Structure 1
């Protein structure tokens, strides 16, 4: 496939960055968000609610509960059983998805509920959660009774303190020290809580070669390795998954090499499709190939999770670039109808019961893929937020409603 050469654009200090080629490709992750950085929607759609900067006073949505035992093919799945916590607008300051859902009515409210009432990740960055109280405050907010069976999902994102546009500039010693201190503080905040940690989305950028790569890949991979080992040593109930790109990005061998250098041996496994929109079925096949590649390197028994938040109309980076160019990849287009197209639609809801017949049928999985999912996939999870502008900020009602309205998986919600 031909190399895709993107057009440059500005990058903010909070983490927005340049679009990059398929070797690295564009990302759609959450950037360093603070309560003061979130802006209100035009026209005052969402006025401030009874919320504070470090949390929310809004009622807590019911957690998502599951019945049944782990699959026999994956008996040690740490995400099985219990319940999964649902965020009630933490750090949204009354201007986000959950508040919009609460104020909506009729069919609009029903559509918004499809996303607002699902477990999704809070993104912890080295700026918004450096203070020691931030992580425990969030855990208390979404799990006020300290229920040991309730799972909380977070993404830990700190390798790009100056934004990915500055990836060519090596990290300073001070930045490396800051990162390690931050990881220790996040770990202390997690303690013995049951937490799913998606560690360093876009880690796969450090596997890239050429002009779109980073100047110090081994330094950043060593920091991720430090984080993986630190969580392993200090957080016995944290299930950690390292980013491994997506089915249209690294080859399985490239992903396995990256994961090995970045400490996958200390984790439960890896994550896929956090920063892409590819089909879940393709990522099942990709993940199985990475598991095999890791085993061939002496790292056996790994599992993976797949981000399904925005893969309802799954497509590849190359397909998008061929039609729209490379500079708009983050800001996925709104769907306007039920026919498949390159647009933003919710994927299947989060669950660890990935081999349920309804999911298998809805995703069009083959028998082999269904068996692979039951054995190797710990869960389908929501790590990205397709209801946000550029998948980062601010919240957009005009993205949230059609993403839910035109999902092909409405029967699963």
Structure 2
């Protein structure tokens, strides 16, 4: 620990240098939050993600073995590459197993917002309808597991309180629409739990911008996504999220999100917006493209990019921002005028919910994934 503290005291560009004791036992400087100039777009004046700043994680739950601590210890080009990831706002994943204790969420919020700045946005992913992992989706949830989920949501909500947060609710919710031998045995139960969470946050956390997950542009059709979202409580949320566990191109997700908004309106649910995960979409591709080349295994872990491999690999997309119609973003993403108008009106933000520096997008941290994902991003000029 002494060596770790000494490392933390090194001057870090863009970070505060006073070490602070944090809930996970680390004493690391808190990176400067991401700031944006200007106000919400006229076409999306109610955007809850516009304005203020976005908090950046300082290695909470890493305990000295993760992206941020690796960045602090790095030098030269590797420090530059790791900084592209470590100094961006990204989501802390709350699972029913890692945050069931009532103290976990308030501990994190105090860590990344120690001054209780009301304008600082904290990004969270709430992932709880798979308590035994997605591999056990064939086994229905027990009554005790369902009750535990509702208690957990109540505790997460109490921890959030009046804080300004972005909540990506139940990534991979789209799995509950699967049919056949790969399907979930109790889809309506899990969708009902997501609906419970959506309504509970709506009723108790007035500054929480909640987005139900709707898969990605290469997954559900707009009609399927709209049906899933309606059953899962979209009426109680700001909108939905796209691209969290897939690698689809941002432009494709913008078009797909617009089609879902229209499909929801046809079902009597209007005015919804969406966020798009861009953490790992730098070399965007579909599941079908991956499967045609490599088969159906290994998709979640994605192959590392190399100088010679420019497709079907793991690379950072554009940095998080609510200024989705900035000319630099429009140009580098190749957005058409129509897609730009859609983004300005319906896309609340590009956000980082996936973690391309982790094995299987989940755990543990892998330097061997983090470095090439940042080095071979086609959007280096935006960092």
TM-score clears 0.5: yes
2:27 is the counterpart of 1:54: no
2:108 is the counterpart of 1:138: yes
Shift of 1:111: 0.8
**1:142-291 alignment runs, 5 A limit:** 142-291=112-261
- In the other structure, the counterpart of 1:362 is 332
Structure-2 separation of matches of 1:47 and 1:65: 27
Shift of 1:208: 1.4
Asked if 1 retains the 8 angstrom alpha-carbon contact of 2:5 and 2:27, the reply is no
Structure-1 separation of matches of 2:233 and 2:362: 27
Q: Which runs of 5+ in 1 are unaligned?
A: 1-45
Q: Counterpart of 2:43 in 1: which secondary structure?
A: coil
Cα offsets for 1:290-336 (capped at 9, x unmatched) = 00000111100000000000000000001111111111101111111
Partner residue of 2:317 out of 314, 322, 347: 347
Find runs of 4+ consecutive structure 1 residues off by over 4 angstroms.
46-53
Shift of 1:54: 2.7
Cα offsets for 1:171-198 (capped at 9, x unmatched) = 0000000000000000000000000000
2:50 is the counterpart of 1:89: no
For the structure 1 residues 198 and 326, does the alpha-carbon distance in structure 2 shift closer, same or farther, using more than 3 Å as the test? same
More helix by share: 2
How many residue pairs match? The answer is 368
Q: Which runs of 5+ in 2 are unaligned?
A: 9-20
More moved, 198-207 vs 46-55:
46-55
Structure-1 separation of matches of 2:277 and 2:5: 31
Q: Counterpart of 1:69 in 2: which secondary structure?
A: coil
Higher relative contact order (CA 8 A, sep 6+): 1
Partner residue of 1:120 out of 67, 87, 90: 90
CA RMSD for the aligned pairs? 1.5
- In the other structure, the counterpart of 1:303 is 273
Shift of 1:213: 1.2
TM-score by length of 1: 0.87
Cα offsets for 1:378-404 (capped at 9, x unmatched) = 000000100111111111111111111
Asked if 2 retains the 8 angstrom alpha-carbon contact of 1:197 and 1:241, the reply is yes
For the structure 1 residues 276 and 55, does the alpha-carbon distance in structure 2 shift closer, same or farther, using more than 3 Å as the test? farther
Shift of 1:340: 2.4
Cα offsets for 1:92-127 (capped at 9, x unmatched) = 001000001100111110111100000000000001
Shift of 1:47: 11
TM-score by length of 2: 0.94
